[in-house]
Structure 1
Amino acid sequence: MTLAADMPMDGLKTRAEALFRRKRMVAIALPLVLLAYLVYALFAFNVPALLQGASLENGATLIRDSYSYKTHVTRDNRSGEVTFAIEGERKGEYAPGTHPDWVTVAGDDTITDLGGGHLVHYRAEGVSYEIPGYGTVSAQPGNGGVNATFPDGDLPEWINASKNRVTITTDAGRVTITRNRTEVFRYSLGWELFFFTLDSPYHGMGPGELLSHALSGEAGAIWHDFWNNAMWRHGDVAWALVETVLMAFLGTFGAAIVALPLAFLAARNFAPLMAVRFTFRRIFDFLRGTDALIWTIVLSRAFGPGPMTGALAILLTDTGSFGKMFSEALENVDGKQIEGVQSTGAKPLLRYRFGVIPQVTPVLLSQVLYFFESNTRSATIIGAITGGGIGLMLTQAMITQKDWEEVTYFIILVILLVFVMDWFSGWLRRKLIGGER
């Protein structure tokens, strides 16, 4: 006779109702606990103050800088000299007597056409900006300040004015006026000078013209000017990517080589002494419990900056991770294969070589390749600390806060590198482990 037959129907009903009540309480309590935590985090991390201090204008400027470039038209208010440069850098400065085609130089009057009727005049007596739908802003920079004059009425939000500085930001561009200097920023789509700088004879040539010059025996010169581009530093970037992969490779496979023999001393079926197993397991816990970034900081203080320091940091952390995973794989090996090798009279070292290693190789190799792929991403961050790889160049570009198209370029390269390493590690796993016929 079953329990349900022995128990009265009222008792079953009571137990079922109690069970459903508990489940309902849990279903209601979990979202409430999550909501309470989110409310706590909202105030604990001072999110309202962060949102209040956020600048949407700066964010929009950074986003626009990521896919466009600025040409600076700069006037020294003391000497009256006007210069033209891509991103305001000397490496992108126009040669004397040359300027963009949207700039007109007529004696002492330099006219910058920002498009849509926006005109900026540099004259001997001062600066003026003609803004369609608003009027003309004029200034006479000097020792007394900017001395700006605006159309009647309240200043719009896109004008920031003080005694010594005036900044006007419109859809056409940006104008900054100080006592010593006036700058016009004109935005254009694309990454200017990505292939060739202004001093290269191949700047401005189309693909067909470049191909014609290459077939005429100038292929080496074309490649030289591209590879040694002073603005984008393609050669340096390529070597930085190689350094990043080398850091990940040396750290990952070095850790695998160190961890494999130590894993035998942490496996229960290969190290019968509990004290030995306990010691090596705690060593693995210590190594993997300390993040690679912490090891990077410690090692950089001890050995100085450099890619090798980053590789050692990855090696230490991964030695702990591999030691734990390898020892667990060794504990799950099939003892019959070991006994079969032992029956041939093989010594312990040969028993491990032919009875153990072939069993765990697919698992170990899969783990090592996965960590190699993951460490390629980690090496970018580690390189920013140790001073090596693409991470250092990315950090330097972000610190300047002016060439965000260069930051975008580096980020795209890192993403492509991760894609390539993901594909390569997957292909190598299938080839070596035998998952692909």
Structure 2
Amino acid sequence: MTRRPALAPELRDDLLRERPRLFGPTPGDWALRAAAGLVILAVLGFSLWRVDATPERIAEGIGRLGFLLQFMWPPTAGGELWRLVMALLETLAIALIGTVAAAVASYPIGFLGARNILRMRLLRLPLRRALDVIRGVDVLIFALIFVAAVGLGPFAGILAVAVNDVGNFSKLFAEAIENTDDGPAEGAAASGCSRLETIRFAIVPQVMPVILSHILYFFERNVRAASIIGIVGAGGIGFELSERIRGNYWDEAAFIILMLLVTVMVIDRISHRLRLRIIGR
């Protein structure tokens, strides 16, 4: 085996002066990294001080949590099992209707936001920024707004889930459309297809598995979100949970939490298998 000739000391010194990064971090790099680490530690320390996260407070909180866990056992429905089941079904309905409504509304918006479909930046960029604004608002805030607008109940929850997901779906659909292979579209255009026909037969078949996979994932996520927004009056099992917590019925609250855990686990398992089948794995 032939050995590589050693680098001459003079050449190495020249390279070290001209390209210091070739031989590892320079002292300036180490100083910059140390300064960045100190800044991160300072910010973390200030944050812990600002929220009063002292060891004494943490220990006291853990003690109280153990005290509450004693009241949660054994979990019980409190004689209202049917009412809790109906509330859980209402939560599933909020998640399902909100997800489907958002997907239907986001389907055309996704095409309008895709660079390879709408090439006019003057129209596409304002749409993308508007979607960013919608995505920047949490579903819980939307729930508070719609509860004030349309009143308590599941309709406010459906609106909150749907509007929040329009921003998410539209962005994901647009990115999926932009990442499609140009070959089928070019072939369809060369064979005389119109612009709409090219989208229908060359682009839609490529993105549809991705779109369906996103819809299934967000339905699973929205089941959890619908449980949370119920706490602010948007219907579903979350409202029942908040009532139990306010009344200190911790055994019934534990039963509701277990219902949610089992439901989410089942939906997660089914959704995972469906997504794998859709994308062909």
TM-score band w.r.t. shorter chain: 0.7 to 0.9
For residues 386 and 279 of structure 1, the distance between their equivalents in structure 2, rounded to whole angstroms, comes to 33
| Corresponding residue to 2:162 among 296, 300, 315 | 315
For residues 58 and 195 of structure 2, the distance between their equivalents in structure 1, rounded to whole angstroms, comes to 68
Asked if residue 298 in structure 1 is aligned to residue 145 in structure 2, the reply is yes
Higher RCO by CA contacts (8 Å cutoff, separation 6 or greater): 2
Residue 236 and residue 352 in structure 1: after superposition, are their counterparts in 2 closer, same or farther (change >3 A)? same
For residues 95 and 106 of structure 2, the distance between their equivalents in structure 1, rounded to whole angstroms, comes to 16
1:146-172 C-alpha deviation (Å, 9 max, x unpaired): xxxxxxxxxxxxxxxxxxxxxxxxxxx
Give 5+ residue unaligned stretches, structure 2. Answer: none
The residue that corresponds to 1:46 in the other structure is 52
Asked if residue 341 in structure 1 is aligned to residue 184 in structure 2, the reply is no
| Corresponding residue to 1:400 among 237, 242, 247 | 247
The residue that corresponds to 1:36 in the other structure is 42
8 Å CA contact retained: 2:106, 2:169: yes
8 Å CA contact retained: 2:213, 2:278: no
For residue 282 of structure 1, report the CA deviation from its aligned partner: 2.2
The residue that corresponds to 1:240 in the other structure is 87
For residues 276 and 256 of structure 2, the distance between their equivalents in structure 1, rounded to whole angstroms, comes to 30
The residue that corresponds to 2:261 in the other structure is 415
8 Å CA contact retained: 1:232, 1:406: no
The residue that corresponds to 1:62 in the other structure is 68
Larger radius of gyration: 1
For residues 132 and 240 of structure 2, the distance between their equivalents in structure 1, rounded to whole angstroms, comes to 33
1:268-305 C-alpha deviation (Å, 9 max, x unpaired): 22113222212321221222122111111111111111
| Corresponding residue to 1:432 among 247, 268, 278 | 278
TM-score (norm 1): 0.57
Letter of the aligned partner of 1:371 in structure 2? F
For residue 338 of structure 1, report the CA deviation from its aligned partner: 2.3
For residues 196 and 175 of structure 2, the distance between their equivalents in structure 1, rounded to whole angstroms, comes to 20
Q: Aligned with 1:19: secondary structure? A: coil
Residue 10 and residue 390 in structure 1: after superposition, are their counterparts in 2 closer, same or farther (change >3 A)? same
Residue 32 and residue 283 in structure 1: after superposition, are their counterparts in 2 closer, same or farther (change >3 A)? closer
- Matched length: 274
For residue 257 of structure 1, report the CA deviation from its aligned partner: 0.8
Asked if residue 366 in structure 1 is aligned to residue 181 in structure 2, the reply is no
For residues 34 and 343 of structure 1, the distance between their equivalents in structure 2, rounded to whole angstroms, comes to 56
1:106-185 to 2 correspondences below 5 Å: none
For residue 316 of structure 1, report the CA deviation from its aligned partner: 0.9
Give 5+ residue unaligned stretches, structure 1. Answer: 68-189, 195-228
> Quick check: which one's helix share is greater?
2
Letter of the aligned partner of 2:255 in structure 1? Y
For residue 348 of structure 1, report the CA deviation from its aligned partner: 3.4
> Alignment RMSD, CA only?
2.9
1:135-190 C-alpha deviation (Å, 9 max, x unpaired): xxxxxxxxxxxxxxxxxxxxxxxxxxxxxxxxxxxxxxxxxxxxxxxxxxxxxxx3
TM-score (norm 2): 0.85
For residues 383 and 283 of structure 1, the distance between their equivalents in structure 2, rounded to whole angstroms, comes to 27
| Corresponding residue to 1:377 among 224, 228, 232 | 224
For residues 382 and 357 of structure 1, the distance between their equivalents in structure 2, rounded to whole angstroms, comes to 34
